[in-house]
Amino acid sequence: MRARRIVTALVVLGTLVGGLVGGWLAAEKLQSPAQVAARAAPPEPSDVVATVTVGELTEQVTARSEITRESASTVEVALAGAEQSVVTATGVPPGSEISAGGVALEVNGRPVIATTGAFPYYRDMAEGDTGPDVEQLQRFLMSCGYRTGGVGQFGPQTAGAVRQLYRAIGHEVVTREAPATTPEPQGGAPAATDDPASGAVPAGGSVEPASGDGAAASAAAPRVVVVPRSELVVLAALPVVAGELPAVGTVLTAENAVLTVGQGRVVARAKIAVTVLPVLAEGMPVVLTGADGTTLEGTLGPIPAAAGAGDAASAEVAVPVVTEAIDEAWLDANVLTVITVTAVADQALRVPSRAVVPRADGSSVVQRRAADGSFEEIAVHELGRLGGTSAVEPAATGGLSEGDEVKVE
């Protein structure tokens, strides 16, 4: 009897629990129209705010500038007739001065001498030669203080001047056996012989072999001074400053046998894409930043004409940058360059332009969020706009500060 009562109680309890769960589930699925509308309604809109910042409001163009000498040029080194032309020494380190008669490089142990002239040498010159190249060499030797006996033929005095030039740089001159000449008629004047000390030979560079045993005459045959064209490099003016030179061990070819030299003060030239040129103007402010973070202010120089339509859109042109003296440590560097195209404000409060609300009387306000979350209007003067940002100044001191939040409408 007692067991039957317990079973009946459990059945009743289970029925009650099942009813409650079923009713809850039904209530969840069966909602009134008001409940459905409430759930479908969008949430209450929240305020969109922006933080007030401080800084400059400018439009800028970023580029790179090459730091070089005011006048930079490249000059080719003539290759010697050897199987290989290898750089065995450099005369001066980059940034150092190369003077007239100085050694820029040594190739296969022989010097490459810096000279002045109007054209590169086109042949090896020897005693007895004449021509514009000989005259150019003689003028250079005279500019260095050596006596050549005038301008015209490569004579004994020119040979002596060449010996002195090579002696000054610690090298021996190149010589070769003098060409044979027709013997003088019987009873003629004795032929002149080569004097190794002075380099003197008869006019025309030819000598008559001494009489006697043929082998002895051949051994005593005079020699003439030769200036190989591969040992002379011609520049428009000297001294110059060494730029990029082939490193020791470089095997020279027609492509890399080049010296880069410069003259004048250190200057900067900005590399600007032709598509940007239309927005630039001479005198725009420029800031150069070196690899160590140091900066140098300047202005843009004359803007070159834009490239033609046939040129690639990615082409660049060099625009000079006018600055104070540039440290020579920057030579051959490629530095960051920032050009200010438009300057609205230097150090000003900046807010989104949508946060500035104009009033009918011509004034403007921003809505600043207070500590309690409400907004209050702050009168401001809009200094200018650029790219969706406005530079503003509060009408009253302390009305608006960096870090404040303003409502963006």
Instruction: Give the model's pLDDT for residue 189.
Output: 38
Beta strands in 11-102 (DSSP E): 49-51, 53-76, 87-90, 97-98
Instruction: Give the model's pLDDT for residue 14.
Output: 64
How do strand 232-235 and strand 110-116 relate by DSSP bridges? parallel
- Look up the domain containing 363 and give its range: 45-69+265-408
pLDDT at 56 over 70: yes
Q: Does the model's pTM come out above 0.75?
A: no
Instruction: Give the model's pLDDT for residue 148.
Output: 96
Distance CA 275, CA 261 (A): 31
Across residues 146-166, what is the average pLDDT?
A: 96
Across residues 122-145, what is the average pLDDT?
A: 97
Burial of 256-284, coded b for 16+ CB within 10 Å and e otherwise, reads ebebbbbbeebbbbbebebebbeebeeeb
Residue 228 lies in a domain: yes
Closest by CA position to 339, among listed 389, 301, 293: 301
Q: Are residues 303 and 395 in the same domain?
A: yes
Q: Are residues 96 and 242 in the same domain?
A: yes
Helix (H) or strand (E) holding 308: none
CATH code: domain of residue 324? 2.40.30.170
Q: Are residues 236 and 306 in the same domain?
A: no
Residue 8 lies in a domain: no
How do strand 53-76 and strand 258-273 relate by DSSP bridges? antiparallel
pLDDT at 360 over 80: yes
Number of domains in the chain: 2
Quick one: pLDDT band at residue 328, thresholds 50, 70, 90? confident
Q: Which residues contact 285 (CB under 8 A, 6 or more apart)?
A: 297, 298, 299, 339, 340, 343
Q: Mind listing the pLDDT tens digit for each residue in 189-236? A: 333 333 333 333 333 333 333 334 444 445 567 899 999 999 999 999
Quick one: pLDDT band at residue 85, thresholds 50, 70, 90? very high
Quick one: pLDDT band at residue 95, thresholds 50, 70, 90? confident
Q: Mind listing the pLDDT tens digit for each residue in 305-319? A: 875 544 555 689 999
Task: Say which residue, 200 or 156, is predicted with more confidence.
Answer: 156
Q: Are residues 247 and 308 in the same domain?
A: no
Residue 131 lies in a domain: yes
CATH code: domain of residue 116? 1.10.101.10
Q: Are residues 133 and 277 in the same domain?
A: no
Q: Are residues 114 and 63 in the same domain?
A: no
Across residues 96-120, what is the average pLDDT?
A: 96
Across residues 14-23, what is the average pLDDT?
A: 62
Instruction: Give the model's pLDDT for residue 213.
Output: 47
